[in-house]
Amino acid sequence: MVIWYFWFKSDIATSNTRVQLLATLISVFFVMGITFGIASLVPFRPRPYLNPEINYVFLAPLNLTLSKMSSFPSDHAALFISLSTGFFFVSKKVGLIALLYTFFVIFVPRLYLGYHYPTDLLAGSLIAAPITSFFNYSVAIKRVISSRLIPFADAYPGYFYCIFFLITYQITDLFWGSREILHFLRMLYMRDLQR
């Protein structure tokens, strides 16, 4: 919602604001790709609520899908810190509010529910903040966005906003749709290898 709000806010819908928003969105894909890559390469780390040493009392029904995913690093932390960092480049006030929201609404519940260890959240944050900052500071990246993506959005708004909606929806959905497609393709590939 914040991305769409800033995109269409009349008094700041300048080229620079839109460039920063697109730089943030592009950085999110790199952040999530690196986060998922690390999660698949490092040894599997079970969620804290599955750790018998913690003796965690889980009041909600067991999330089987979450139980099969590695706890380290936190993809939630990576995504929300990436967005919060990007919002700082558009509005320091909104960036701070987004950061506080991330801490109290994303981090604290995930710790309390036993979904992540503090180091999982820290690792996700340390992946996200530098990458998104780099994309927003990079003159070369912003030049490409200004010369290619912004003119494309102006010339072909129908195509651009379809893609823009799909990207922001995937972010809202934490890329579950993309993950399921990639998982399906991986299963097909593995099946072909076994033949």
Segment 75-100, tens digit of pLDDT: 999 999 999 999 999 999 999 999 99
CA–CA separation, 117 vs 115, rounded Å? 7
Q: How big is the CA angle at 86 (ends 85 and 89), to the nearest 5 degrees?
A: 100
pLDDT tens digits, 93-139? 999 999 999 999 999 999 888 889 999 999 999 999 999 999 999 99
145 Cβ neighbours under 8 A, 6+ residues apart? 19, 22, 23, 26
pLDDT tens digits, 37-67? 998 899 988 888 887 777 777 666 666 677 7
CA–CA separation, 64 vs 116, rounded Å? 15
Task: Please report the pLDDT score of residue 59 as a whole number.
Answer: 64
CA–CA separation, 22 vs 164, rounded Å? 9
Phi, psi of 157 (to 5 degrees): -60, -35
Mean pLDDT of the region 164-185: 82
Mean pLDDT of the region 6-28: 84
Question: In the chain, where are the structural domains located?
Answer: 2-139
- Please report, for residues 10, 68, 82, the alpha-carbon distance to residue 39 in angstroms, rounded to integers and kept in the order given: 41, 12, 17
Token pair 């399921």 is at which residue? 180
pTM of this prediction?
Answer: 0.85
Residue 157, both tokens: 């708004």
